[in-house]
Amino acid sequence: MTSSSREISDRLNELESRFAFQDEMISVLNPQVASHEKRIASVEQALSALRQELQSLRVALSHDSGTEAPPPHF
């Protein structure tokens, strides 16, 4: 082989090696990303439920605050 064809062959081998590594990494990371997406959706649902509960508590407290008699020491 000539010098330039050897360089091309070496570069091609390097690119094939990098591609194989990236392909393997994608295969490993894909399920992890899917799992994280599910967990994020679950956390978003829980946050939404907590916000609704907090709003309900605020409404309930604002209605109750005027109906209660002051403590006896006032």
- 45 touches 37 (CB < 8 A): no
Q: What is the mean pLDDT of residues 55-70?
A: 79
Q: Given pLDDT bands bounded at 50, 70 and 90, which one contains residue 26?
A: very high
**Type of residue found at 38:** K
Alpha-carbon span 62 to 56, nearest angstrom: 10
pTM for the whole thing?
0.62
CA gyration radius for the chain?
31
